[in-house]
Structure 1
């Protein structure tokens, strides 16, 4: 299998192109100095969501959602060209607005004395999602379940030592209620694996209005505001739980005096995405709860925080090929943003 070169392009011969097109991994050939894509097989087109002609013109760093810089990417390309193979994971945004994880392996390639870099690209989004579920459920079992069971166990010991066990029974009832809620949540979050195809076309404005209405009548002292266009997404019914959790957190964890909660949604047609924000004027989210989100760490890295709400939201959003961002977290305002792909036009 040979490659052919012209003054303006790189291409494999028919035999080689047919071979690489038959592979169930993406294959890209990059300029060893600029990182530009000179060749891409059909699988690489599917992974990135762009046709070959477009792939040769886009900047891969621009479609990345992570903090990979152009200089960092070029450094990896040149290291691979010098014989030091590179392997790394990053997230990209497809032209459809979907966000997904990919794995890229870079190695040297020499054709007719010319230096190139060949890239092997795989869509690892399902793998990352299953890994996140594993870490999340493992953390819940190790931390949350264990803590609640210790309360119950300690309660029985106290009952044996004292006559009036009313206070102890109350603690035990609360702990058991939390365990029931946790098991219910685990059942819902694990069902995401089997419910991927179960999506509906949802009007985001209607969904946000319904969620806010659940709280508006019970908390009239809060200043509520909805700013949303009629925009649509294809979503699993569990996505509603993510917005419920964010609004509920703003209500439960702040004083209601002078509190303003705003939910908004708007189209980003350039990226085929919708940006949905939940903001409030309450207290900032503690660092212990947000550090893992900011650092893209897995849930088992959260050693001391007891809350799983943001992990729940992030897991649901990731399942929908979206992103969860903390846009602002100050004493004046905190803003949490969820970015999701727009629904296919119908």
Structure 2
């Protein structure tokens, strides 16, 4: 560079005007080339100087960075070591404290050499190490928990952080390790406490559920008891009503019997008188006497039915003829069905007498036949059958009336259940009927098709040893 500058200086001192024209032209051209070369050399010189300054600055920064890294490296509370080609090449003082060993027992070892053969998840430490380091080499930092093993055989848990670092011209994997043995111990204790708490909550919940179920059962029992009490109360009220009605009907029957005897006796005297004094007019007046006799017999039947119905429900069981009881009920209800409902009776020729409370059987059949009559809005038919079914006397009462809807059928024996308009029924009739039948060790069931008709089937036990027939 100095040589080129000297040539340029000497060339500038030459007096070009003294040179011939051709030589002057060539010298001038050569001077321009030399000047351009000087400028180019100057630019390169400046560039090299700039690069030198940058390199010096970069080296200074790198030295500062390495100093800072080394300071952090040595002063860190975490164990830090550098890995190159899968082996530990450097470690800080904290690492040796963590592993309770000197540097020689760590350097040139693989991280898996400072670990048990298997990790807690059952994987081989060396295999797991390869997978993790591959991810770090791809530039993906790794954070995980790892079980380490000290040279003296002790195991401890650590939180590990792996990342790529560049120191000088070299690249390393930096591993930061924090002992979390105490933390894991606390976590384990907390987990035990949590599990114990959950168990206690579960046990308490089961106890509460059990108590709740017991309370619920007691509540249901109380509801049932209350329901039974209401039913019993209603039954008692109805029984008292029926008892009062029985007393009333007994009184009415007695009061009717007395004047009826006068009428009957007077009619007999009158007929004998006519026969004795006006024999020629007997044929003329006999239809009148026959009509009077028919009316008297009809009144007698009604009085007889009332008397049998009014028998105390508290009396002991006696031998009853079910056919006669059914006929009595039809007599009492005659006014409700006459001229519109046909009664078909299919009775056994010889019906066995059964031990029962006659007054209660009247109440049973009156309720069922009365319901059958009410179910027929216009003209219709009621069929009553009696037959023997094994050891039971079976009574079937069928009608072709309105029938019962399927959803209502299961409720017909429930107390206070009725489909009638308010004021037309109490909903106790069939409930009491069922109760009375069951008190006689019998059974009652109902079959019905809506808008086609209904059949009630009653079964009353017959005791063979004392059975009599009429």
TM-score between the two structures when normalised by the length of structure 1: 0.41
Q: Please identify the structure whose Cα radius of gyration is greater.
A: 2
Q: In proportion to residue count, which structure has more helix?
A: 2
TM-score between the two structures when normalised by the length of structure 2: 0.31
The structure, 1 or 2, with the larger RCO (C-alpha pairs under 8 Å, 6+ apart) is 1
Q: In proportion to residue count, which structure has more strand?
A: 1
